[in-house]
Amino acid sequence: MAYAVFEDEERLTRIFATEQEAWEAAERAGLVETDPDGNRTLDDHLEIRFCHGEPEEITDAGADFKLS
């Protein structure tokens, strides 16, 4: 399985091996908020979802997001 952070139909991040890794990258980028019930949510128009492709391995967590 592979996951990434998307805004509408555009993939914003590299491809992660797990959904948890995608959440962690979004959290590092300040895109995760906690609602009053303690649930994690993403900023508007963002979602973490399954995507096709191989997970991309990097050693620099700052390189999680793709720059256009």
Which residues are 40's β-sheet partners? 34
d(CA 61, CA 51): 20
> What does the pLDDT look like over 17-58, one tens digit per residue?
999 999 999 999 999 999 899 999 998 899 999 998 877 766
> Domain residue spans in the chain?
3-54
Position 3 confidence tier, pLDDT thresholds 50, 70, 90: very high
Position 1 confidence tier, pLDDT thresholds 50, 70, 90: confident
pTM for this structure?
A: 0.78
